[in-house]
Amino acid sequence: MPSEPDYLGASLEKRFRTDIEPLLSEFCFGCHSEKRSKAGVSFEGLHNVFDMLAIEGDFWAARELINSHDMPPPDEPSPTDHQRQLINEWIDDVLSYYPADAEIDPGWFTIHRLNRSEYTNTLRDLLYLDDAHKVTGQLPPDDTGYGFDNIADVLSTSTLQVEQYLEAAERAIELALGPVVEVGAGPAPVRPIELGNGSNRLSRGGSFMYTNSEARAQIDVPVEATYELSIEAWGTRAGDDLPRAVILIDRKRIASFDVAGTQGDEETHTTRVTLGSGTHQVSVRFVNDFYIEGEGDRNLAIENITLAGPVPEEPIARTEGYRQILAPAHGALTTSDEHGAASAVLERFATRAYRRPVAAQELAGLLAVFRSARGAGDTFDPALRVALSAVLVSPNFLYRSVDNTASDDPGTRYELSGYELASRLSYFLWSSMPDDALLASAAAGTLAHPDELIMQAKRMLQDPRSEALINNFTGQWLLLRNLDGMEIDPDRFSTFDESLKRDMENEARLCFADAVRGNRGILDLLDSDTTFLNERLAGHYGIPGVEGDAFRLVELPSESPRGGVLTMGAVLTVTSNPTRTSPVKRGLFVLDEILGTPPPPPPPDIPPLEQAAKQSGEHATLREQLQLHVSNPTCAACHRRMDPIGLAMENFDAIGRWRDTYSENQPIDASGSLPDGVIFNGPSELKDFLLSEPDRFLDNLTSKLLMYALGRGVEPFDRPTVHAISTRVREEGYNLQVLIEEIVRSEAFRTCRGKEGT
């Protein structure tokens, strides 16, 4: 063990000196000092965090006894509930302190249900279905834990969820493969035939046209292909010409023919026509009516219109999903080995869906589903679709797992297989399934090598699918997803609309994406000379010279307070209330999301702020109202840290616009100081303060991204992992790409151990 604790250890020691030791001295040293050490326990003379860890067992016991009010004994002076809580929280923190250079513990892997966005993206890639979100809209939202919605331990599975999976599987298959089409289908009558002026209904439903007229009908085709349109007609002859018919589709002339047939001896004219999917209007026109009294009467009768097809010789416009998934089967079908064809399709599909080779038993089960549907009367294509939808409801598709039967023994280590790593990597960077290249690397056995893993990661970050990492991570870390639900008062903030919300979100995402692509350092997320703006957002910020709707990189004017996430409209808005700013929420955001040191939750029975409001008068500023936090010792411990940070951002209103005064013409005081004496005034000095200890931010970002990558909460035992990653990132100049690579390279990512049985 080192003799010097790191900064976390140092801060625990500092808290001990200022907050805890005085309490122990007041309530405990009477019996548990170096001199008396009743029951062999003394809390005196603890010089550093290692001294404290040395009496771990005593602290555990003390925590229990303090909590149950058995200590101090009833006849001794008793701490308040809040003081008990302070002591216990500190004990928790000390006991969960891992020195940064302790041995690496990779943690466990819990079977991981795909969350909503992972499921949607996976359907997209598996089924070649760009609008997969259309079928996943009704899935219940995912449970969140640690601020993320991809935490395996937290993601539960309800009946409703599985019902929706079943529903979504059926819809997705239909959408992806297109409707079931019977190629080479025989002629089917098109009904009803509508009559034009100058015609009569024939007994079988057709049209008898005694002047130039038109018979019309609607035809509905499932897929773009070539069909055979047949017209059964006869005529009455007069004059020199035969009755002439013209066929139009959607009012466009496609063919014409003379009708020589007569009633009882009808003739059928067949035309091939290529039709797009959907509804079309077919018309048959009689164009050469002839009538001279005594000389004769030329008329045209249409008895029947039929449509056959699609014809097998001509191309059929299939969906990409159909071509990729089902079409190979139809090739195989020509050998009339239906079973073999189904087997080939299912094996290929299930291998991609399960993200690993499919087992013989699994394939046999899928074929049984296919056979059962065939047996019940479904034709080949629909029966195969039933089996394909079964794949999409299989737990092997819906869950990612690792094949570690010893997963209840914390003492065992397990190295993820190539396929398991491929999934872990692709769900981290793409929130989706591995692509063929990644699966090929897994199959070849090369992925287990860290260099290959990193190479794949680099390749994947260049792929557009890595947008998922940017959206899902920033959406949760920076609370961007909360923007949607913000009910900002439209009277006070009339410019706040959907477009502005989207713009705010875009700015934050583009800056993070810029860092992911290596153009922007991690510390640039705290403060930067540039940002991404369009005209509307620039106007919102009061920055001139940006025109148009498109976002572009903008060099910020030197006097601009913007740059970095804290001064982005998105962050400033989600940390506000509907009608006003909330310095408390902004302070909390910095402590929690930036520094990773969230204060403990507020104590119970918070006294109402009524007195404060009365004392400080009707027009008390927010700062004056917040003063009460500091005058009340229960609140002060945390609010002395939160409130000044939030107040430093008071020049930004509840939707992030700059202001010099409150609307009541009260000037804004954005100065503040922290308990340890740090003084700042306004957002720029606040940023300078945060940048003065860059490693706190780095450690926090590492923890958050590691949590997201592993899909589990980061625990105290992860500290050495976080430390090792952060150290590398610092050496490489705070580069976000390096952070991602180091996470992928870490033992926590590539291996796991068992978890204590529950």
Applying the rule CB under 8 A, the residues between 465 and 484 that interact with other proteins are: 475-476, 479-482, 484
Contact between 71 and 719 (Cβ < 8 Å): no
- With both helix axes pointing from N to C terminus, report the angle between 736-745 and 498-516 in degrees, rounded to the nearest 10: 70
Q: Does 259 bind other proteins (CB under 8 A)?
A: no
The residue among 245 and 392 lying less far from other proteins, judged by its C-beta, is 392
Q: Does 714 bind other proteins (CB under 8 A)?
A: no
Q: What is the DSSP letter of 314?
A: S
- Span interacting with other proteins, options 32-40, 391-399, 415-423, 504-512, rule CB under 8 A: 391-399
According to CB under 8 A, which one of 8, 168, 390, 706 is a site residue for other proteins? 390
Q: Does 70 bind other proteins (CB under 8 A)?
A: no
Contact between 299 and 286 (Cβ < 8 Å): yes
**What is the three-class DSSP state of 405?**
coil
For the residues of 176-228, what is the DSSP string, one character each? HH-S---TTPPPEE--PPEE-TTEEE-TTS-EEESSSEEEEEEEEESSSEEEE
Pairing of strands 552-555, 530-533: antiparallel
Provide the strand spans (E) within 579-732. 671-673, 679-681
Residues 365-384 that bind other proteins (CB under 8 A): 365-366, 368-369, 372-373, 376, 378
Window 604-643: contact mask with other proteins (x via CB under 8 A): xxx-xxx-xx------------------------------
Q: Round to whole Å and give the CA distance between 269 and 302.
A: 11
Q: Does 4 bind other proteins (CB under 8 A)?
A: no
Structure tokens at 46: 């603890």
Measured in whole angstroms, the distance separating CA 638 from the mean position of its chain's CA atoms is: 33
The residue among 101 and 170 lying less far from other proteins, judged by its C-beta, is 170
Structure tokens at 491: 């009277």
- Shortest distance, CB of residue 613 to other proteins, whole angstroms? 5
Residues 263-322 that bind other proteins (CB under 8 A): none
- Span interacting with other proteins, options 157-165, 206-214, 280-288, 731-739, rule CB under 8 A: 157-165
Window 480-519: contact mask with other proteins (x via CB under 8 A): xxx-xx-x-xxx----------------------------
- Shortest distance, CB of residue 753 to other proteins, whole angstroms? 11
According to CB under 8 A, which one of 50, 128, 399, 662 is a site residue for other proteins? 399
According to CB under 8 A, which one of 408, 497, 547, 693 is a site residue for other proteins? 408
- Shortest distance, CB of residue 137 to other proteins, whole angstroms? 9
Cis peptide before 601 (omega within 30 of 0): no
Residues 427-456 that bind other proteins (CB under 8 A): none
Residues 533-592 that bind other proteins (CB under 8 A): 577-579
The set of residues, in sequence order, having a beta carbon less than 8 Å from that of 239 and lying 6+ positions away, is 290, 292, 295, 296, 298
Residues 91-120 that bind other proteins (CB under 8 A): 110-111, 113
Other Cβ atoms less than 10 A from the Cβ of 323: the count is: 14
The residue among 264 and 617 lying less far from other proteins, judged by its C-beta, is 617
Q: Does 248 bind other proteins (CB under 8 A)?
A: no
Instruction: Find, among 382, 386, 319, 274, the residue nearest to 178 by Cα.
Output: 319
Only one residue has tokens 């020589």, namely 260
Output the CA torsion sign for 94, 99, 103, 108.
positive
The set of residues, in sequence order, having a beta carbon less than 8 Å from that of 502 and lying 6+ positions away, is none
The residue among 85 and 703 lying less far from other proteins, judged by its C-beta, is 85
Residues 50-69 that bind other proteins (CB under 8 A): 67
Angle of CA points 457, 459, 463, to nearest 5°: 110
The residue among 351 and 401 lying less far from other proteins, judged by its C-beta, is 401
Q: Round to whole Å and give the CA distance between 501 and 655.
A: 10
According to CB under 8 A, which one of 199, 299, 407, 531 is a site residue for other proteins? 407
- Span interacting with other proteins, options 47-55, 337-345, 594-602, 629-637, rule CB under 8 A: 594-602
Q: Does 85 bind other proteins (CB under 8 A)?
A: yes
Q: Round to whole Å and give the CA distance between 333 and 122.
A: 29
Q: Does 403 bind other proteins (CB under 8 A)?
A: yes
Q: Does 161 bind other proteins (CB under 8 A)?
A: yes
Q: Does 665 bind other proteins (CB under 8 A)?
A: no
Q: Does 754 bind other proteins (CB under 8 A)?
A: yes
The set of residues, in sequence order, having a beta carbon less than 8 Å from that of 684 and lying 6+ positions away, is 561
Structure tokens at 608: 């109402």
According to CB under 8 A, which one of 405, 462, 663, 665 is a site residue for other proteins? 405
From residue 648, give the alpha-carbon distance in Å to each of 45, 568, 651, 686.
Answer: 39, 14, 8, 7
Q: Round to whole Å and give the CA distance between 748 and 415.
A: 10
According to CB under 8 A, which one of 215, 398, 686, 722 is a site residue for other proteins? 398
Q: Does 713 bind other proteins (CB under 8 A)?
A: yes
Q: Does 603 bind other proteins (CB under 8 A)?
A: yes
Contact between 634 and 603 (Cβ < 8 Å): yes
Cis peptide before 72 (omega within 30 of 0): yes
According to CB under 8 A, which one of 18, 25, 96, 158 is a site residue for other proteins? 158
- Span interacting with other proteins, options 54-62, 360-368, 512-520, 732-740, rule CB under 8 A: 360-368
The residue among 9 and 475 lying less far from other proteins, judged by its C-beta, is 475
The residue among 104 and 393 lying less far from other proteins, judged by its C-beta, is 393
According to CB under 8 A, which one of 138, 262, 279, 673 is a site residue for other proteins? 138
Q: Does 145 bind other proteins (CB under 8 A)?
A: yes
The residue among 284 and 612 lying less far from other proteins, judged by its C-beta, is 612
Count of residues near other proteins by CB under 8 A: 89
The set of residues, in sequence order, having a beta carbon less than 8 Å from that of 245 and lying 6+ positions away, is 231, 233, 256, 257, 258, 259, 269, 284, 285, 286, 287, 300, 302
- Shortest distance, CB of residue 374 to other proteins, whole angstroms? 11
Contact between 574 and 483 (Cβ < 8 Å): yes
Other Cβ atoms less than 10 A from the Cβ of 130: the count is: 10
- Shortest distance, CB of residue 480 to other proteins, whole angstroms? 7
Q: Does 136 bind other proteins (CB under 8 A)?
A: no
**What is the three-class DSSP state of 399?**
strand
